Amino acid sequence: DTAVSQTPKYLVTQMGNDKSIKCEQNLGHDTMYWYKQDSKKFLKIMFSYNNKELIINETVPNRFSPKSPDKAHLNLHINSLELGDSAVYFCASSPTRAYRSNYGYTFGSGTRLTVV
């Protein structure tokens, strides 16, 4: 049973299109995240939701819009895709206030987005 699952695994699309990536976790965690990993393997946080409430919104173009219908799901919608959006996007989850108890994050296996 996959703890954090993302779909699709691969996404190839043309510039200007709109696409969505879905994420679901079955760990009972209250907090979910989106990270972007660039070609140099650097992982940068984009968004975080806690119990459906947006708590972290990094400097991300507003073409990116996260949506959390419930605490087990966090989707990422991207409008007007650009070449520079090509990257691997990771969803992750953790218990609330993971930093207080030093919990780690559980990551999905990633979605490789290629914009052509």
Query: Which residues of this chain interact with another protein, rule CB under 8 A?
Result: 4, 33, 35, 40-45, 48, 55-56, 90, 92, 94, 97-99, 102, 104-110
Task: State the minimum distance, in angstroms, from the CB of residue 81 to another protein.
Answer: 22
- Nearest approach in angstroms of CB 45 to another protein is 5
Opening angle at CA 19, ends 61 and 4, nearest 5: 90
Residue 91 CB, shortest distance to another protein, in Å, is: 8
Q: What residue has token string 């070609």? A: 39
In the bound state with another protein, the residue whose beta carbon lies nearer, of 17 and 109, is: 109
Q: Are 16 and 34 in contact (CB under 8 A)?
A: no
Q: How, if at all, do strands 10-13 and 19-25 pair? A: unpaired
Task: Work out how close the CB of 65 gets to another protein at its nearest, in angstroms, rounded to a whole number.
Answer: 19
Nearer to another protein by C-beta: 76 or 92? 92
Kindly tell me which of 26 and 42 has the beta carbon lying closer to another protein: 42
Cis peptide before 8 (omega within 30 of 0): yes
SS3 state of residue 1: coil
- Residue (14 or 40) nearer to another protein, CB: 40
Q: Provide the token pair at 100.
A: 């207080």
